[in-house]
Amino acid sequence: MPYDLINRFILVFTGLFVVVDPFAAVPVIVSLTAEDDPAEVKRIAGRASLFGAAILLFFACFGTAVFRFLQIDLNAFRAAGGLLLLLTALGMLRNKPKAAGAGPDAGAPEKDDLSVVPFATPLLSGPGAITSVVVFSTGADASGYLAVLAAAVVLVFLAAYWVLRSAVPIKRMLGRSGMNVVQQMMGLLLAALSLQFIAQGLVPLVKSFWVP
């Protein structure tokens, strides 16, 4: 039994780490926190990792029941995640990463929002990661396996936190001018990625309605 649990842990941890892919979020956090100090960047990285882990743990335990009860198609969920990313990308391209902040007093709440959207979800705990934990949880026929799944999620996001912290030395190296260039480039790439997510969700949905 312990040997089986170790094998399960390695499988789940590897699969989730690849899907979560915290390295892909580093350029985004670098660009969206261009005007923040290192302590704030570390705080955002910590909150994003905490919220991301909480989201996946929730869906690991209750995801199948939630989707079944609300009759939500995973493709619709994927398209919604792409829409969230698209809104963030448009703000980056307008050079307004804190897009909802209309005034000077709006800075603090928007920094908190960055921890949840877009970092915790959909960048880290996106549709792919949520679908993965739901699939893994369907095989959790014993409490030991569910504990293994939870442990894998926690360790993946501990690793994600240390990866996201690398944004601090990257920002220091690039400087303000380099950060402006990165922000525009990442805004364009993030927009393309978000449109891909939306298409991957909408195309199967449309087919399901029109194909008998």
Q: What is the pLDDT of residues 158-210, one digit of tens each?
A: 999 998 988 778 777 877 677 677 777 777 877 887 788 788 888 888 887 77
Helices (H), 115-166: 127-138, 143-164
**CB 32, CB 100: distance < 8 Å:** no
Q: What is the pLDDT of residues 87-114, one digit of tens each?
A: 777 877 776 544 333 334 444 444 445 8
Q: What percent of the chain has pLDDT over 90?
A: 17
Q: What is the pLDDT of residues 126-140, one digit of tens each?
A: 887 887 888 778 655
What's the rounded mean pLDDT across residues 61-65?
85
Confidence of residue 142 (pLDDT cuts 50, 70, 90): low
Mean pLDDT taken over the chain: 79
What's the rounded mean pLDDT across residues 107-125?
72
C-alpha to C-alpha distances, 183 to 71, 73, 74, 89, 172, nearest whole angstrom: 38, 33, 30, 9, 15
pLDDT at residue 122, as a whole number: 82
What's the rounded mean pLDDT across residues 46-68?
91
Given a cut of 80, whether residue 43 has pLDDT beyond it is yes
Cα angle for residues 8, 14, 19 (degrees, 5° grid): 125
C-alpha to C-alpha distances, 149 to 11, 37, 166, nearest whole angstrom: 10, 35, 27
Q: Which residue is associated with the tokens 């601090």?
A: 168
**CB 56, CB 129: distance < 8 Å:** yes
- Domain boundary assignment for the chain: 2-73+101-175
The one-letter amino acid code at 160 reads A
